[in-house]
Chain A
Amino acid sequence: MNRRFAFTMLAGVLVAASCSSSDSILESGNETPTTAASPTTVAASPGTDDTDAPPSSDATTIAPTTSTTPPPDPGLCPVDALENADGPVEVLFWHGLNGATNDGIEYLAAEYNASQSKVKVRLEPQGSYDSTIDKYVQTSQASRPDLVMFPEYMVQQTVDSDSVIPIQSCIEAAGFDTSAFRQATLKAYATAGVQWAMPFNVSNPVLYFNRRMFEKAGLDPDAPPQSLQELREYSQAIVDSGAASYGIAIDSGTDSGGGWFLEQWFANAGELYADNDNGRTAPATKVLYDGPVGVELLTFLQQMVQDGLAYYVGGNATGQDNFLKLADQTAPAAMTIGTSAAMGTVFDALDGGLIPGITNEDVGIGPLPGPSGTPTALVGGAALYVVADHGDETTAAAWDFITYLVSAQSQSEWAVQTGYVPIRADALSLEPVASTYTDDPRFRVAYDQLIGSPDEPALQGPILGPQREVRVVTALAVADIFEGGDVQTALTDAAARANALIADYNAYN
């Protein structure tokens, strides 16, 4: 019977472990590695974001679309209901932030609660995006939170869950001005002409590298590689010079090398990842990554692994393995790719002396090297959804909190604490982000590559119903490829499985 006991517990642990396997610090960010705001730089900021697309006069919140879906009813979001409330209205907010991104949201919520008396926000961190999603999906509408944060790949599933109020209702009911927003961040959470969620924490992948190793290899740490070809050349130089054992550490995690980065690389190449304009004009029916672009991309990466230029760290369930390879005492890599939102965590860990021999200043941040050689980025991170049927007052209260979170001032503070990208241009002229972006350009990299991205369907990223599951099968194929499997076979198989998932999803929704 002891054995049964042990087996049961083991099975439990295994299941639990597999459930949490895609929890990722990649989505986390961290607390203020910020430099002290220097008074001299304060005035310099308003002109610094001239790369922004000017807020067009007819800027709307609605993504361009061919769909004829009627606009959602503003009556769904009674933004004035708060005025009739007696006593403070509680808003329960589930989020998947962790580490010091959790500290960041706690800070903002505390500031908000202290700033007014009508609404009291109660945070319930669920630990990761995955467990937020799982718990939300499994829970009845009444037990769901009033406000929930979902990552960018959850748009279609959330829409189909019929459980949220499209944020467009609130925007229209309140006459909320979104003209200062980066339009791409809004579009990422719009489908078939309806704005479903309010973007809040926007991140994208950047290149982390060891500046000392670059110098040792005779490379300019202020000019990190921008194209995949350069990435290979830099890696070669690093390995040849002995500055490090490997050029780059790569992984096959779903929210990194096995899924998210692929979507980013496809966008960078100007290629669609899924049909129907990445699922933006009509529900996608199939993925397109098994074509020549995908094969070329993954063959290139596979070759880097086989030539000893890249080190494959595996599925990277913790999201830390690729970073730790840079700190490897015996056979380190000089570069890795990770979300900009991990910047705070990485800097914090280094400031705390966790990694012997590497300091905060040794870390360089560069744009994500991509097929085109011109940095671009899809909107990553997460957005806020207002849960339906929780009462007018609660809905209004949730909306009020959202407007606080996406205010220019909040976004400025949030970006500096975490490494996330401000979603609105006017945040850049406000402290603390104004001086941080000037004094520590590493924080700007993610922002710059996002605003540098052209406005075309490929650069809005895919919206798939079962996007999370598609990433899982794709990541398995990538793992197979990095371990030496045949590229075309792996991608074809993965695409077939992904397409079956999509067909199933579309049939049921």
Chain B
Amino acid sequence: MAVSEPGEATGVIDDATDKARSGGRPSSSAFSTPRGIRLAGRYALLGLVTFIVLFPVYTTIVASLKPGNRVLQNPLVPNAFTLDIFREAWTEGRLGRFILNSLVVAVVVTVCQVATSVMSGYAFAMLDFPGRGVLFMVFLATLLVPLEATLVVNRRTIDSLGWLNSYQGLAAPFLATAFGTFLLRQVFLGFPDELRDAARIDGAGHTRFLWHVALPVVRPTVGALALFSFLSSWNQYLWPNLITTESDMNTVQSGLRSLRYSTLDKPNLLMAGTVIAAVPIFAALLVFQRQLVRGLTAGAVKG
């Protein structure tokens, strides 16, 4: 959650900058002063928003770099520096183990979500079968059921399968997503009929068509869905927290909690742990942010 904020904020800034550019153009020749004032106002506002968003990140990083006896003195001033805190947080918080768990779960969830979404999206868009409309509505309706409403039942199911404290337990409820199905259906709906007809004439069945023709074309959307799935899985807190009773199987976001409990008197350790947990996801967001936004809005106009 915390990590997604900077990314979103950057998106806001991009949007606003675009608007600033286009909005500023007509007035630029005649009234240069009002334009300057307007621009200054906009940047002031953007600066303020940036400050509000980045301030907690800044304090977290500053605290994570200070030794224990300096953390609460001048908390905003990085007047002391040590990397020991990171080392200690890494070992004491067992972050290596937790990150591995997060990675395994996130990869499994991502692969399965993409696979199920592509296939179901394809079916809803390209196949004509009785009850398709109703079934799709039912599918969409599950988007309205919040995770919290199914928590207890899901946990009991996982428990009765004997999957507490296991990768399958962590991943099982998230292997399919109505959102992904919806997204890919919209993309497939906009698919040129000519391509499908051409493939059919060449003797391609559904599998071959999907794999060799359709999938390459919708790759940007699939990529965005994959990144989105990975991010949401990585950032999961509640579910892993609920079904792990043994710390070995905790994921990183939920495992940070145990770092908090084990270091009540060392706030800097928790801060360092938070930074470590945020780094992989932050890097992923920076690299893929444009693709994520573009991919998710891809079906919007057409659908």
Residues of A within 8 A of B (CB): 1-2, 4-6, 8-13, 15-16, 19-20, 23, 25, 28, 30, 94, 98-100, 102, 124-128, 131, 135, 138-140, 143, 145, 320, 327, 345, 348-349, 352-356
Contacts and interface: CB of A to CB of B under 8 A. Distances in A.
A141 to B, nearest CB: 10
B13 interface: no
Contacts of B146: 8, 11
A15 B265 contact: no
B20 to A, nearest CB: 21
B223 to A, nearest CB: 15
Nearest to A347: B265
B179 to A, nearest CB: 7
B261 A135 contact: no
A98 B262 contact: yes
B164 interface: yes
Interface string B261-303: 1111111000000000000000000000000010010000000
B29 interface: no
A12 B147 contact: yes
A145 B246 CA distance: 10
Contacts of B179: 1, 4
Interface stretch (B39-47, B128-136, B199-207, B237-245): B237-245
B24 interface: no
A5 B232 contact: yes
A140 B72 contact: no
A124 B237 contact: no
Contacts of A12: 1, 147-148, 236-238
Given A2-B8, A8-B146, A356 B73 contact: yes
B228 interface: yes
Given A16-B241, A102-B261, A352-B68, 6 more contacts: A9-B1, A15-B148, A128-B261, A138-B152, A138-B156, A348-B265
A17 to B, nearest CB: 9
Contacts of A5: 4, 228, 232
A353 B69 CA distance: 4
A336 to B, nearest CB: 16
Interface string B57-93: 0000000000011011100000000000000000000
Given A6-B4, A30-B265, A348-B265, A354 B69 contact: yes
The DSSP consensus for interface residues of chain B is helix
Contacts of B267: 354
Interface in B30-48: none
Given A5-B232, A20-B257, A345-B265, A10 B1 contact: yes
In order of increasing CB-CB distance, the 3 nearest A-B pairs are A353-B69, A98-B261, A349-B265
Nearest to A350: B265
B97 interface: no
A354 B147 contact: no
19 contacts: A2-B11, A8-B232, A9-B1, A12-B148, A13-B237, A19-B238, A99-B262, A99-B264, A100-B265, A102-B261, A124-B246, A125-B261, A126-B245, A138-B152, A138-B156, A138-B159, A145-B245, A348-B265, A352-B68
B264 to A, nearest CB: 4
A360 B235 CA distance: 39
A98 B265 CA distance: 11
B160 interface: yes
Nearest to A13: B1
Contacts of B258: 125, 127
A124 B246 CA distance: 6
Contacts of B196: none
B164 A99 contact: no
Contacts of B216: none
A139 B237 contact: no
A355 B72 CA distance: 7
Given A13-B1, A135-B245, A352 B265 contact: yes
Interface string B132-156: 0000000000010011100010011
Contacts of B262: 98-99, 102
Contact of A16 (B71, B164, B237): B237
A210 B261 CA distance: 26
A197 to B, nearest CB: 20
B245 A94 contact: yes
A79 B265 CA distance: 40
B247 A124 contact: yes
Contact of B261 (A127, A352, A353): A127
A457 B293 CA distance: 65
A27 to B, nearest CB: 11
A124 B257 contact: no
B164 A143 contact: yes
Given A2-B296, A9-B1, A138-B155, A353 B164 contact: no
Given A12-B237, A12-B238, A320-B264, A353 B68 contact: yes
B162 interface: yes
A352 B1 CA distance: 31
A9 B235 contact: yes
A348 B143 CA distance: 48
Contacts of B232: 5, 8-9
B261 A8 contact: no
A345 B245 contact: no
Nearest to B70: A353
A345 B267 CA distance: 13
B166 to A, nearest CB: 11
A352 B266 contact: yes
A15 B236 CA distance: 12
A99 B266 CA distance: 10
Given A16-B238, A124-B245, A140 B160 contact: yes
Contact of A8 (B147, B160, B246): B147
Given A25-B264, A143-B164, A352-B266, A1 B245 contact: no
B224 to A, nearest CB: 10
Contacts of A125: 247, 258, 261
